Structure 1
Amino acid sequence: GLTDRGHIAPGQRADLVLLNPHEFIDTATFTNPCSYTAGVYGVWVAGQQVWTGQSSTAARPGRVIRIGKENLA
């Protein structure tokens, strides 16, 4: 199974978003769907920062987990 997930602790793979709920505003619209959300200061995937609040990093630690694959057993 996925035993290294579900906890924020050393050795665990965690996805986290650092945001300020008082500043959080979804600015995307139908005419501008790629607008960045205000109030998000960082995003971490599998413990590696992928968003700095201003731009993405070069890190690509995530992977797709598909239902029905043997790694979910």
Structure 2
Amino acid sequence: MTSLRRQSRGFTPGGELHAWALFSRNLWLDDMMGDLYSVLDLLAPHVEEPGYSGYFRKEFDAEPTVFTFRDGTFGPLKL
């Protein structure tokens, strides 16, 4: 399932500020994770605001990996 949604990002003196958000829920088998990285590499240069971007969880992992977009690339969340 994938959808592109217009989201409210706050308010400015000129009115409400909007941005587009891409939501996707997919099953990526462990041997297909390279394909996921390729998709994220293609998206990363087009992300305007750095920060939280989502998460993925490998099939047998108990916890998800949170990732962020920053400076035209993506990577795991660093605290």
TM range (shorter): under 0.3
More strand by share: 2
Provide the TM-score with structure 2 as the length reference: 0.24
Larger Rg: 1
Provide the TM-score with structure 1 as the length reference: 0.25
